[in-house]
């Protein structure tokens, strides 16, 4: 039995702006299995959100999927019309956005909004819809749901609103949930609750989650696998333990080295030198070359392929090529405090 919920192959997405073509996603391939939580991490503008919005075809008008395939439930949706996608969004794929204030309708009660989502999966009457809505609120940790159905979004806290958007996304019982920076606007305590909630849903109901974040702390707490994106490409992917204990791409190593550490409390925070490339003019070769202290001539000429480190761990960097000189080969990668 095939348990693959989402299969993306060689996806390329461009934004056509007055200034020119921005290659937002450049040949990304990624698969998710049932009940798995995969986190995409990287700096702002690296293509994480564009990738996620491509999956549900909610890209802006100036965006074009140039090539690749997105298979959901055994069907390639890249050629789907907007009408076709209405049977995918909500029913096959739920989505939680960063700001619940822009997701929830401010003039409708949450009970009405939950009922609208539930009606996509059931023809139940008003009383049963209310009962199911209360159950969804309790599922996401909002108590006294019966009394809260008549309340408006503005009457809830930011964390509660985010939970309500999650409840709406789950109302149609999708197999896949895409969460685009769902914890960014939340305080640390509420973040932890949201993380625990998503983990429990994946464990208990088989929900598959693709979560986007720039917060590596969130990734470490929730992910089964972590993918690191840079300049529109997936540059490393592995289990959470592999990425955090044995990072192999120089960019991943730089991100982890820049994390605050109790062992370096009186030392200056590290940073990755240089700036990400201008996506209007993506350089030849490895886009990270000008920030890579171990870059070789080939880094400026050819894009590196993926090199497999284990069944689950691979990274796209020439420093892993067996032909690379010993002095530039990717070292162990484990973080060491200086």
pLDDT at 335: 43
Do 139 and 167 form a contact (C-beta atoms < 8 A)? yes
pLDDT above 60 (res 288)? yes
Do 227 and 211 form a contact (C-beta atoms < 8 A)? no
Do 175 and 34 form a contact (C-beta atoms < 8 A)? yes
Q: How far apart are CA 293 and CA 6, in angstroms?
A: 36
Read off the pLDDT of residues 208-233 as tens digits, 9 standing for 90 and up. 999 999 889 889 999 999 999 999 99
The predicted model gives 43-72 an average pLDDT of 94
Side-chain-side CA neighbours of 88 within 13 Å: the count stands at 24
The predicted model gives 18-39 an average pLDDT of 96
Please work out, in degrees rounded to the nearest 5, the angle formed at the alpha carbon of residue 322 by the alpha carbons of 317 and 328. 60
Q: How far apart are CA 277 and CA 289, in angstroms?
A: 10
Higher pLDDT, 163 or 289: 289
Do 45 and 102 form a contact (C-beta atoms < 8 A)? no
Q: How far apart are CA 256 and CA 228, in angstroms?
A: 11
pLDDT at 185: 66
DSSP code per residue over 146-179: HHHTT--GGGS-HHHHHHHHHHHHHTT--SEEEE
| Helix residue ranges, H only, 6-151 | 48-55, 82-85, 100-103, 110-118, 126-139, 145-148
Confidence of residue 333 (pLDDT cuts 50, 70, 90): very low
The predicted model gives 147-160 an average pLDDT of 91
Confidence of residue 162 (pLDDT cuts 50, 70, 90): confident
Q: How far apart are CA 94 and CA 177, in angstroms?
A: 5
Q: How far apart are CA 269 and CA 321, in angstroms?
A: 30
Q: Which two tokens stand for residue 191?
A: 């973040």
pLDDT at 191: 80
Domain ranges, ordered by start, for the chain: 34-56+84-230, 243-328
Eight-class DSSP state of 283: P
Eight-class DSSP state of 75: E
- Biggest alpha carbon distance in the chain? 70
| Helix residue ranges, H only, 86-144 | 100-103, 110-118, 126-139
Q: Name the packing angle between helices 110-118 and 126-139 (round to 10°).
A: 100
289, 290, 334, 297: which is closest to 316 by C-alpha?
A: 289
Q: Does domain 34-56+84-230 have CATH number 3.20.20.150?
A: no
pLDDT above 80 (res 268)? no
**pTM of the complete model beyond 0.85:** yes
Do 93 and 55 form a contact (C-beta atoms < 8 A)? yes
Confidence of residue 263 (pLDDT cuts 50, 70, 90): low
pLDDT at 338: 38
Do 206 and 280 form a contact (C-beta atoms < 8 A)? no
pLDDT at 1: 52
For 188, list phi and psi in degrees, rounded to 5. Answer: -60, -40
Read off the pLDDT of residues 227-252 as tens digits, 9 standing for 90 and up. 999 999 999 999 999 999 999 999 99
Q: How far apart are CA 192 and CA 222, in angstroms?
A: 9
């Amino acid at each position: 039995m095939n348990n693959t919920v989402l299969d993306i192959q060689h996806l390329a997405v461009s934004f056509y702006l007055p200034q020119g073509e921005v290659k937002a996603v450049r040949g990304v391939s990624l698969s998710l299995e049932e009940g798995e939580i995969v986190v995409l991490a990287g700096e702002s503008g690296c293509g994480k959100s564009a990738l996620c919005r491509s999956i549900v075809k909610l890209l802006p008008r100036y965006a074009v999927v140039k090539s690749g395939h997105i298979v959901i439930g055994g069907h390639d949706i890249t050629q789907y019309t907007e009408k076709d996608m209405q049977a995918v969004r909500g029913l096959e794929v739920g989505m939680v956005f960063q700001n619940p204030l822009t997701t929830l309708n401010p003039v409708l009660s949450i009970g009405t909004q939950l009922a609208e989502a539930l009606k996509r999966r059931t023809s139940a009457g008003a009383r049963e819809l209310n009962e199911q809505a209360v159950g969804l609120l309790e599922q996401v940790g909002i108590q006294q749901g019966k009394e809260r159905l008549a309340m408006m979004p503005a009457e809830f806290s930011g964390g509660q609103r985010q939970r309500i958007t999650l409840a709406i996304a789950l109302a149609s019982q999708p197999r896949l949930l895409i969460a685009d920076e769902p914890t960014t606007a939340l305080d640390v305590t509420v973040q932890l609750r949201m993380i625990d909630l998503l983990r429990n849903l994946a464990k208990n109901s088989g929900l598959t989650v693709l979560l986007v974040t720039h917060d590596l702390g969130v990734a470490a707490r929730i992910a089964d696998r972590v993918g690191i994106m840079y300049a529109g490409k997936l540059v490393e992917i592995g289990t959470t333990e592999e990425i955090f204990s044995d990072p192999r791409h120089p960019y991943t190593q730089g991100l982890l080295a820049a994390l605050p550490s109790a062992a370096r409390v009186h030392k200056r925070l590290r940073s990755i030198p240089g700036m990400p490339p201008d996506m209007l003019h993506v350089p030849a070769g490895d886009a990270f070359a000008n920030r890579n202290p171990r870059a070789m001539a080939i880094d400026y000429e050819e894009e590196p392929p993926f090199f497999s480190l284990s069944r689950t761990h691979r990274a796209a960097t020439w420093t892993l090529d067996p032909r690379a000189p010993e002095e530039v080969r990717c070292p162990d990668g484990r973080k060491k405090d200086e």
